[in-house]
Amino acid sequence: MQAIISFASTFRNGSKFVFGNVYDSDYKDRTHDRAETSLDIQYMVLMGSGIPTDYISSLSNYDGFLIDFFVQLALLEKDKSNVVPLLYSISYGADEVEVGSIFISICDNHFMIMNLTGKTVFITSGDSGTSSFDTKYLPPQTYFNRFNRAYPDISLVAHQYQIKLLGNNDIFFDGTSASSSALAGFVSLVVDQRLRLGKKSQDLLNPLLYSIAVRYPAAFYDVTTGNITCNTSPTCCRYGFIAEKQ
C-alpha cells in the first residue's frame, strides 16, 4: 500500500484512489510487494481515480490460472452481497499449442459470458510483439493460426512505465501488462459515468470504439509506421512485421 501512496503522490497528487478487496487462493503474504501486481494495480487505480479496484489472485501460476479465475468469479457472483467488478484487466497469457483446444474453448465461452453480462475485459497482447523462434519448423503453418485476428482493437503505448516498488523505489517496465491496466482504469471512468446516469454498465465496447473512430478520427492514433524486427534484443533481425495503413 505504501508503494501505491508513493505512486499517487508522484503522478496524481490529490487524486482519489480506492483500493478494494483482495480475492485470493494463494496470496498468503499480502504485504509482499510483487512487481507485476504493483504494476497493474498502480496504473489501474490511478487512471480510474475514485473507482474501487479489486485484486484477484489465482491459485495456479501457469496456464490453469484462468480456470481458477473463472471459479473465483463464479463464487463472487453466487454471494449476492458481493459487489462484483464490472471491468477487468488480465496481464498474463498462455501458448495455445500447450493448453489445448478444450481449455481454449472453456476460456472463450466464459469470456463471452462475462461480456454478455455487462463486464468488460482487457487482456495483454504480448510484451515485445509477436514471439518467434530461432529455429525453423516444418511445416511452419501448423505453428501459426493465420485465421485469427493478429492485432488488438485498441492499445496504449507500452514503453517506459514507471512504478513504485518496495515503498519508494522507481522501476521501469515495458509491455502491455502496463498499458492494459492503464486503459482499463481509464474505461472504468466511462462505466462509472454510465452508472451515475442510470444506464447499463457498458454495451459491447468494440462497436463503441469503432464508432468513435469514425465520428472523431482524432481520438485515436493509427499505428502506420514502425516494425518489430528489434524488440528488446541487442541485435535486430531482418524478419518481422512492418506497420502500414490498411
CATH number of the domain that 167 lies in?
A: 3.40.50.200
pTM for this model (two decimals): 0.81
Q: Which residues contact 166 (CB under 8 A, 6 or more apart)?
A: 3, 33
pLDDT for 12 equals: 72
The cell 518481422 sits on which residue?
240
Residue 239 resides in a domain = no
C-alpha–C-alpha distance, residues 173 and 171, integer Å: 7
pLDDT for 176 equals: 80
pLDDT for 131 equals: 56
What is the chain's pLDDT, residue by residue, as a tens digit (246 residues)? 777 778 878 877 667 778 788 877 555 555 545 677 788 888 898 888 888 888 887 766 566 778 888 988 998 899 888 889 999 998 877 777 778 888 889 999 999 999 888 899 998 876 665 555 555 666 666 666 667 666 677 888 888 888 888 777 888 888 788 889 999 999 999 899 989 999 888 778 888 889 999 999 999 988 888 777 776 666 677 777 777 766
Residue 26 resides in a domain = yes
φ and ψ of 44, to 5 deg: -70, -40
Residue 237 resides in a domain = no
Residue 231 resides in a domain = no
pLDDT for 50 equals: 87
Residue 195 resides in a domain = yes
The CA dihedral of 137, 138, 142, 143, to the nearest 10 degrees, is 0
Domain of residue 208, residue span: 2-219
C-alpha–C-alpha distance, residues 154 and 133, integer Å: 27
Residue 59 resides in a domain = yes
Residue 246 resides in a domain = no
pLDDT for 158 equals: 81
Number of separate domains in the chain: 1
pLDDT for 241 equals: 72
Residue 173 resides in a domain = yes
Most distant pair of Cα atoms in the chain: their distance: 57
Question: In the numeric block, which cell numbers belong to residue 41?
Answer: 494495480
Number of C-beta neighbours around residue 63 at 10 A: 17
pLDDT for 121 equals: 92
Report residue 2 CA to chain centroid gap: 23
Contact predicate 53/186, CB 8 Å: no
Contact predicate 46/18, CB 8 Å: no
